[in-house]
Amino acid sequence: MSRGVRGFFGRSVPALRRCCAPAARCAALFLAFVLVAQTSYAMVFPPSKSALVWLPSGLTLALFVIAREVRWVPWLLVIVLAEMAVVTRHGLPLHVAFAWGIANGLLPLSAALIIRRFAAVPFALCRVRDVLLFVGAGAAAAIPGTLVGAASAVAWLSMPSFWDMAISWWSSDVLGIVLVAPLVLACATRHPRPSGSALEALCLLAALLSVGWLVFGGNASDRTRALSYLVIPFTAWAALRFGIRGATLATIVLDFLAVWQTMEGRGPFAGTGGSAAARVLEVQLFIVTVSLFTLLLAVVVAQHLEARAAAERAEDRAEFLSSASAALSASLSRDAILTELARLCVRRIAHLCVIHTVEEGAMPCASVAHADPSQEATLLRMRGRGAPDKCARQPAALVLGTREPLLLTELGCDEHEHDAMLGAFGVQSSIAVPLVVRGRMLGVLTLYATTPGQPYGPPDLALAEDLARRAAVAIDNACLYRDAQEAIRAREEFLAIASHELNTPITSLLLAVQLLKANVDGPLERIERLLDKLPLVERQTKKLARLVDELLSVSRITAGRLELSLSEVDLAAVVRGAAERFSEDLARSGCQVTIRADEDVIGRWDAARLEQVVVNLITNAIKYGDKRPIEIAVGGEAGTASLVVRDHGIGIPADRLPHIFARFERAVSARAYSGLGLGLYIVRTIVEAHGGSVRAESTLGSGSTFTVELPRASPPAVEAAHRG
């Protein structure tokens, strides 16, 4: 089939189905109504014009209770028409048929309204309370229809007594409700599987027919009414072993047998004398009592079974979650946890599992698993581990946006066409839950179910959410552990470098001091020669002081004690002063410095800290400047001041550039260049504390440019802290 043709049918078949389904439902209701009404007319005993048991009342009530409200109006119309068709066929005038149609429509409508008011939707006979509500609502809802029906019968059919007619109408409606509605409701709603087997069901049917025949089928004169109680153990058997459906079916079988035999003049109720109607009414009342008893017993059993199943499910769930927690916390590697999580899911709650992680704005697929390991290669090919997901309509992408769990119970052709993976594996429904911990989104866990007719439901969603919570904690722990390990490694590396860096000037100072001490009493020329070493001592002391200053600044920053003391400062003057102080170092390094500064670049800054920024940038330019010229530019616009330090030295590798402003980060080998990896960190922290920014541009081998931008007025919070 070509794509175009498939596309046409793919779209038009559901549309066709959408149009035809309501019409088909109305036609089915019309036929069912006519069929059960005709059956009821078999129980009309003249001179009464109405049936002894009105079975359509049970059918329509059950259908209205189950259906959505939008279907009520067309169905009311169908009921009126069907009733008119049946009644006119029995020779009654059209206006009576119409009035009775209205009466028949009023019953299910009022019953459904009462039940909707007091019970949850969808209504099911699952608790004793539901049965009582349903019978009570049925009995009350039968009243309006009864009044309309009886009034029209008295007015147009010359019925002698309104109340006789009303009572017989109401009782036939209630009998119909109790006999038929529970079966329809039980068939239309989900109930636990019956514990009895097919063979047992056949035995039960045989036993029911035999005992029914024994009780209701014999000669009326031989039968006592006490014999009729023999049916109770068999209906109880149906209730205990075959649930609500079995119980209602058993009582209907018995009812038909009993009514049929009683009408034939057989059984315990046939010998009571009186009219045929009185005898059938008596047997109906007996059956209704047995039906209600059986139904209540079945509901109690179903409630008990449901509670036991729920307890088993909860136990099962708790066991799964506790073993999942143990498995997830067995490793401190994030990747191992993600793999284990996917495995756990396909072992228990999914056929396919895909886990996406959130990383720097992208959402790569971190782990996949399939219940059938031989399919995993195909799944990997389709989802591509590590590749970011492009499909914005995927459950994971939706959850990433909303951070809310998602349950998709029906994935149709549309979704399958959109996402090849869903079609390839025949995915029926899916669940996507966020992996969130401490308010941070770590990723999304998506589960797919492929068994037709068994979509995911709210309990699966709750289980997935619980699992995702535990997994998120395990992943977070692994990440924290990794960060802690990295921090420890960085600290150890820093301690090694710092001790080396501090040791070098100290050794050099110690040597100089020892030399001075050894020669303090020596000849004057030697002392003069020793005095030549003083500049070296000074340099080493300055270096030592700078290192200690860097360490102090960092410890202050880490402890959150970087306080700014603001005043009017001229940035150009600070730069010139620093360059002056470094003239000796600059001369020794062979770097030419050019300063281009605007007049009076004044702002409210911390002078000492600003000097630290300038010094750190100039020191780096000298250190990494490769003896080439250094250009410093100071400028100012209305609200901002800028400082640019450019060198033409070794440059910075592109992959290291984003990291150089972080603590302990270095882009050179410790052997080639001394340093603690703190200078730029201090620069960034001071600049940001003033509300400014710093950035670096660099080309490896061609030099680097550092640009600092500062607001001339410090942010209000800084000013307030300064005044405070």
State the minimum distance, in angstroms, from the CB of residue 614 to ligand ADP: 13
Name beta bridge partners: 370. Answer: 352
Site string for ligand ADP, 561-600 (x = CB under 6 A): ----------------------------------------
Q: Cβ of 355: how many Cβ atoms within 10 Å? A: 29
At 364, list the tokens: 């790569």
Helical residues (DSSP H) of 189-272, grouped into ranges: 198-216, 231-263
Q: What is the dihedral of CA 388, 391, 395, 399, to 10 degrees?
A: 60
Binds ligand ADP (CB under 6 A): choice among 61, 350, 660, 708: 660
Q: Which part of the chain contacts ligand ADP (CB under 6 A), choosing from 85-93, 582-590, 632-640, 642-650? A: 642-650
Spatial distance between the Cα atoms of 283 and 259, rounded to a whole number of angstroms: 7
Q: What amino acid is encoded at 53 in this protein?
A: V
Stretch 162-191 residues interacting with ligand ADP (CB under 6 A): none
Q: Does residue 679 belong to the site contacting ligand ADP (CB under 6 A)?
A: yes
Please select the residue that binds ligand ADP; options are 678, 694, 708, 718, rule is CB under 6 A. 678
Binding mask 601-620 for ligand ADP (x = CB under 6 A): ---------------x---x
From candidates 266, 334, 356, 666, binder to ligand ADP by CB under 6 A: 666
> N- to C-terminal Cα distance for the chain?
80
Sequential DSSP letters for 161-200: -HHHHHHHHHHHHHHHHHHHHHHHHHHHS--PPPSS-HHH
- Report the nearest approach of ligand ADP to the CB of residue 659 (Å): 9
Contact segment (CB under 6 A) with ligand ADP among 269-277, 442-450, 509-517, 658-666 equals: 658-666
Binding residues for ligand ADP, how many (CB under 6 A)?
22
Min CB(439)–ligand ADP separation in Å: 32
Q: Which of 138, 194, 405, 677 binds ligand ADP (CB under 6 A)?
A: 677
- Nearest-CA neighbor of 39 among 215, 180, 213? 180
Nearest CA to 320 out of 344, 351, 352 is that of: 344
Q: Assess 286 for contact with ligand ADP (CB under 6 A).
A: no
Residue number, 60 or 620, with CB nearest to ligand ADP:
620
Pairing type for strands 406-408 and 440-449 reads: unpaired
- Residue with smaller CB distance to ligand ADP, 442 or 680: 680
Q: Does 243 bind ligand ADP (CB under 6 A)?
A: no
Dihedral over alpha carbons 208, 210, 212, 218 (to 10 degrees):
180
**How far, in Å, CA of 459 to CA of 467, rounded?**
12
Which of 231, 358, 427, 650 is in the footprint of ligand ADP by CB under 6 A?
650
Closer residue to ligand ADP (CB): 356 or 646: 646
How far apart are CB 495 and ligand ADP at their closest, in Å? 15
Please list, in sequence order, all residues whose beta carbon lies within 8 angstroms of the beta carbon of residue 636, skipping any fewer than 6 positions away. Answer: 571, 598, 600, 601, 602, 642, 712
What is the x/- site pattern for ligand ADP, positions 684-723, by CB under 6 A?
Answer: --------------------x-------------------
In angstroms, give the least distance from the CB of 490 to ligand ADP: 13
Cβ atoms of residues 131 and 122 within 8 Å = no
Residues within the interface to ligand ADP (CB under 6 A)? 616, 620-621, 624, 647, 649-652, 660, 665-668, 675-681, 704
